[in-house]
């Protein structure tokens, strides 16, 4: 599901630090035992003979594609940031945001006026960014062999994602401007109000939103299901359902995760993962995911997210008004409480999130290491089995196993795969 820059401040910001907990990382490949790995015990890359039938073990040709895709992603992290700022600036300095506010103000009921404005601004943002979005999410993914959809299929799901974000964003946006116009410490109240919103999204997403894009069915491999449920029972996780999802409908990428709260807890495996991983490799992956749940990373992540939201919005409250005053004639608004200020708020938040993401990513990497440790303890698999799972993740998803330290520090919410491989190979159980 696509998340636009507009929804970033309204919904995604509320769950900023939850992504590594809700959507885990470890995923991989081949349902048969593989005796060759991407990175050997000395930390060097080894290549398999070129083959048309299998992607794993890593061939020299596949490695070249991995390097190319990784370089592209590293560059794109910066390109997407500046493109986003440019689009928001167009909405702001062209007067479009103020014009949308004028049109929306004709609606008598304030709540629906805000919704009309939100629709106009998000649609404009979507259209302005559409060429870049299509290039990155369709053509690039197709070029590297991931995408399994036609353009119409991909676009249909993209529009569905936009519609969902339009629905989910209205409450936080209305709440934001209602607070700004009435409460001096609006940033604090909004941050506290984000807690129930985030919990609500975590609860409803698995049962109401995700099934709109994919089919979730009980795990067909009953032997594997029994092993996963035995792990869950050992971990003290009760009431979870195990599902497989037809993720190959969209992409050949691999993943698995544990998500939901209360009655919506579920363990989910991509069909691509089931097809390409051994049972022992999957047991390690799912034990890792259960580690997030057992160690309450969802709640710790929520706490960090709320603190980050509060700090970010406090910075906005302290710095945004001088900019509004300076450009009030260009912007056609003179206060933060005018909903036409939304693109400017998003610019400020985008910059803050970009600058401070090493902090949130660093905390996430700590939680991931804890989950890796838990996965090794609970699954009981060998370090080589766990390392092979990470190898496969790198090869199938074209993930750089050894990124530049600055890239890892700034952008990675998981430790590099090379570090994780070294960790599980050298792990000594308690």
| pLDDT on residue 27 | 34
DSSP-derived 3-state class of residue 106? coil
Tokens of 356: 């401070």
First and final C-alpha spacing in the chain: 41
pLDDT digits (tens, 9 = 90+) for 91-136: 999 999 999 999 999 999 999 999 999 999 999 999 999 999 999 9
pLDDT digits (tens, 9 = 90+) for 196-246: 888 888 778 888 888 999 999 999 999 999 999 898 888 887 767 889 999
DSSP-derived 3-state class of residue 249? helix
Q: Which of 40-44, 228-232, 314-318 has the lowest mean pLDDT?
A: 40-44
Q: How far apart are CA 380 and CA 386, in angstroms?
A: 10
Q: Which of 50, 77, 78, 53 is nearest to 65 (CA)?
A: 50
pLDDT digits (tens, 9 = 90+) for 135-176: 999 999 999 999 999 999 999 999 999 999 999 899 999 999
Q: How far apart are CA 91 and CA 346, in angstroms?
A: 11
Per-residue pLDDT at 285 exceeds 70 = yes
Contact 256, 228 (CB under 8 A): no
Please state the rounded mean pLDDT for residues 335-360: 95
Q: Where is pLDDT greater, at 229 or 1?
A: 229
Q: Where are the domains of the chain?
A: 5-425
Count CB neighbours of 42 within 10 A.
Answer: 6
Per-residue pLDDT at 14 exceeds 50 = no
Please state the rounded mean pLDDT for residues 252-275: 82
Residue 241, beta-bridge partner list: 266
Q: How far apart are CA 194 and CA 188, in angstroms?
A: 10
Q: How far apart are CA 422 and CA 418, in angstroms?
A: 6
Task: Label residue 35 by pLDDT band (50, 70, 90).
Answer: very low
Per-residue pLDDT at 17 exceeds 80 = no
Contact 115, 219 (CB under 8 A): no
pTM of the model: 0.84
Q: How far apart are CA 327 and CA 325, in angstroms?
A: 6
Per-residue pLDDT at 399 exceeds 90 = no
Q: How far apart are CA 230 and CA 222, in angstroms?
A: 12
Buried-exposed string 259-269: b where 16+ CB fall within 10 A, e elsewhere: bbeeebbbbbb
Task: Label residue 351 by pLDDT band (50, 70, 90).
Answer: very high
Of 16-30, 188-202, 368-382, where does the model show the most confidence?
A: 368-382
Task: Label residue 29 by pLDDT band (50, 70, 90).
Answer: very low
Q: How far apart are CA 51 and CA 66, in angstroms?
A: 16
Q: Which of 135, 294, 160, 136 is nearest to 214 (CA)?
A: 160
| pLDDT on residue 70 | 92
Whole-number average pLDDT of the chain: 85
Instruction: Scan for tokens 């290549």, then name that residue.
Output: 47
| pLDDT on residue 61 | 84
Please state the rounded mean pLDDT for residues 251-274: 82
Please state the rounded mean pLDDT for residues 289-309: 88
Residue 217, Cβ density class (10 Å: 0-12 exposed, 13-18 middle, ≥19 buried): exposed
């Amino acid at each position: 599901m696509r998340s636009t820059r507009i929804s970033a401040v309204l919904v995604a910001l509320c769950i900023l630090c939850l992504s590594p907990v809700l959507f885990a990382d470890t995923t991989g490949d081949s349902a048969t035992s593989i005796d060759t790995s991407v990175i050997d015990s000395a930390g060097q890359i080894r290549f398999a003979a070129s083959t048309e039938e299998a992607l794993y073990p890593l061939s020299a040709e596949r490695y070249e594609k991995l390097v190319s895709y990784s370089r592209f992603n590293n560059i794109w992290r910066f390109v997407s940031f500046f493109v986003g700022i440019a689009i928001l600036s167009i909405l702001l300095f062209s007067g479009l945001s103020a014009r949308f506010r004028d049109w929306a103000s004709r609606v008598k009921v304030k709540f629906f006026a805000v919704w009309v404005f939100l629709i106009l601004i998000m649609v404009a943002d979507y259209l302005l960014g559409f060429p870049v979005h299509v290039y990155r999410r369709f053509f690039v993914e197709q070029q590297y062999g991931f995408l399994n959809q036609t353009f119409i299929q991909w676009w249909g799901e993209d529009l569905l994602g936009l519609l969902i974000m339009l629905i989910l964003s209205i409450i936080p946006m209305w709440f934001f401007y209602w607070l700004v116009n009435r409460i001096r410490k609006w940033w604090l109240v909004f941050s506290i109000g984000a807690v129930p919103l985030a919990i609500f999204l975590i609860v409803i997403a698995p049962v109401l939103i995700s099934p709109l894009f994919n089919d979730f069915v009980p795990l067909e491999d009953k032997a594997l299901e029994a092993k996963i449920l035995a792990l869950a029972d050992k971990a003290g996780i009760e009431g979870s359902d195990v599902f497989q999802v037809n993720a190959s409908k969209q992409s050949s990428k691999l993943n698995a995760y544990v998500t939901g709260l209360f009655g919506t807890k579920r363990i989910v495996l991509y069909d691509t993962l089931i097809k390409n991983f051994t049972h022992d490799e999957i047991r390690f992956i799912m034990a890792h995911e259960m580690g997030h749940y057992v160690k309450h990373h969802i709640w710790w992540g929520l706490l960090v997210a709320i603190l980050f939201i509060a700090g970010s919005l406090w910075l906005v409250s302290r710095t945004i008004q001088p900019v509004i005053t300076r450009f009030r004639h260009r912007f056609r608004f003179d206060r933060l409480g005018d909903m036409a200020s939304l693109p400017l708020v998003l610019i400020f938040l985008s910059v803050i999130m970009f600058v401070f993401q090493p902090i949130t990513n660093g905390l996430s990497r700590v939680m991931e290491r804890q989950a890796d440790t838990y996965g090794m303890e609970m699954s009981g698999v060998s370090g080589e089995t766990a390392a092979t799972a990470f190898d496969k993740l790198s090869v199938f998803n074209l993930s750089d196993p050894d990124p530049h330290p600055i890239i890892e520090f700034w952008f990675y919410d998981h430790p590099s795969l090379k570090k994780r491989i070294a960790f599980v190979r050298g792990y000594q159980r308690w």
